[in-house]
Structure formats: C-alpha cells, structure tokens
Structure 1
Amino acid sequence: MISRLPVRPRHCDAQAMMHASRYYEYIEDAFLDWIGARGGYERLRREGADLVVKASGCEHHAPARLGDVLAVESAPARVGTTSITMRFTMRRGDELVAVGTVTYVCVRDARPAPLPPMLTGPPPPAL
C-alpha cells in the first residue's frame, strides 16, 4: 500500500528540511492507512487486541523538504506468531528518501498474543 503524505511547515527545521524525529509520524500515518485497508484499528481493538511497538528505526538517504509529497510504501517485512515487522519505504518521485522499520507486538490483556488474521492475510478487495 502506498500513502501520499505532504511535508508541512510544522515538520521542518529552519532550513526547510524535515526534522529527523518527524519521519516516525509519517511511518505511523502510513501504518494506519495500511491497517485501515484491513478493517481499521478500531476493528482490531473491538476484537480485544492491540499493538505495541517493540523496536523501530529509520535510515535516512536524502532530505525531505518543505512542499515535498512523500510516497510511503508500507509492507510486512516479517510476520511472526505474535509480532509483525513493517517496512516503510519513503520516496520523492524515484528518489529514495528514507526506509523505516517498526516491529509491533500484538497484546491482549497486557500479554503477547497471536496476531489476528486481519494483519496476516491479504487485504480485502477494494470496493
């Protein structure tokens, strides 16, 4: 899934470059789009599950700048029994800007739990 997210003034430093900490906001927005295509975070919570972040990282390849629109591709890099590691590839046109990874652990009642099928299978067909 690809999310298209603009770089806004609040994301930038005085040189009009996106601050390194802001890339994680784009990762989170893209992840919410990805999970939204599978029924949404609300569905996950209704089913009694939640996700917590175990690990995250971001490799920066080129600066994102004010006015850019980043195409953020979200894809599972690894699916385990109780965790899923997502890769987020950010591009400006054909140029690689950053690659982020986040490992989420599924929890129920504050304990690790199996991932629900909505996170492990293909997304439902678009209407």
Structure 2
Amino acid sequence: MISRLPVRPRHCDAQAMVHAVRYYEFFEDAFLDWLGERGGYDRLRREGADLVIRASGCEHHAPARLGDVLAVQSAPSRVGTTSLSMTFTVRRDAGELVAVGTITYVCVRDGRPSALPPMLR
C-alpha cells in the first residue's frame, strides 16, 4: 500500500527540512492506512487486541523538504506468531529514495503478548 503524505511546516526544522524524528509520524500515518485496508484500528480493538512497538529504526537517504509530497510504501517484512514487522519506504514524488523505516509491533491482550489476529496475518 502507498500513502501520499504532504510535508507540513510542523514536520520541518529551521532549514525547512523534515526533522529526523518526524519520519516516525509518517510511518505511523502510513501504518494506519495499511491497517485500515484490513478493517482498521477500531476493529483490532473490538477484537480485544492492541499493538505496542518493540523496535524501530530509520535510515535516511535524502532530505525531504517543506512542500514535498511523500509516497510511503507500507509492507510487512516479517509476520510472526505475536509480532509483525513492517518496512516503510519513503520516496519523493519523483521517486527519489528519502528514507526507509522499520517497526516491529507486538500484539497484546490485557497487557500480555498474544497471537496476532487473522486481520494481521
């Protein structure tokens, strides 16, 4: 799935470039879009499950700037019994690679690790 997300002033530093920590906001928005195609976060919660982040990382390749529209591709890179790892590939509209992020989510129920629901497998 590809989410198209604009770079807003709040994402940028004084040089009008996206600040390094803001990429995680783009990853989260893209993940929620990906999850939405599978029934959404509300469905996950209705099924009694939630997700917590176990690990995350980001490799920066080129700066994104104010006014850019970023295409963020979300794809599972590993699906385990209780965890789901996602890769987020961020490109500028012209296709230039900007960043690659990874986040591993663990499914929990009542605060304890639990099997991934079918919607995430």
Q: Same fold (TM over 0.5)?
A: yes
1:88 aligned residue:
88
2:62 aligned residue:
62
TM-score (norm 2): 0.98
Give the number of equivalent residue pairs. Answer: 120
Q: What do the CA deviations read for 1:95-127 (whole angstroms, capped 9, x no partner)?
A: 00000000000001111000001011xxxxxxx
Q: What do the CA deviations read for 1:58-106 (whole angstroms, capped 9, x no partner)?
A: 0000000000000000000000000000000000121000000000000
Helix, strand or coil at the partner of 2:32:
helix
Provide the C-alpha distance between the structure 1 equivalents of 2:72 and 2:59, rounded to a whole number of angstroms. 14
1:47 aligned residue:
47
Question: Quick one: which amino acid aligns to residue 2 of structure 2?
Answer: I
1:114 aligned residue:
115
For structure 2, the 5+ residue unaligned runs are: none
Provide the C-alpha distance between the structure 1 equivalents of 2:3 and 2:118, rounded to a whole number of angstroms. 22
For structure 1, the 5+ residue unaligned runs are: 121-127
**What RMSD over aligned residues (CA atoms) do the two structures have, in Å?**
0.4
Runs of 4+ in 1 over 4 A off after TM superposition: none
2:18 aligned residue:
18
Q: Percent identity?
A: 82
2:33 aligned residue:
33
Provide the C-alpha distance between the structure 2 equivalents of 1:114 and 1:12, rounded to a whole number of angstroms. 38
Provide the C-alpha distance between the structure 2 equivalents of 1:48 and 1:101, rounded to a whole number of angstroms. 25
1:99 aligned residue:
100
Helix, strand or coil at the partner of 2:102:
strand
Helix, strand or coil at the partner of 2:97:
strand
Provide the C-alpha distance between the structure 1 equivalents of 2:40 and 2:98, rounded to a whole number of angstroms. 27
Helix, strand or coil at the partner of 2:25:
helix
- Alpha-carbon distance, 1:57 to partner: 0.3
Question: Quick one: which amino acid aligns to residue 79 of structure 2?
Answer: V
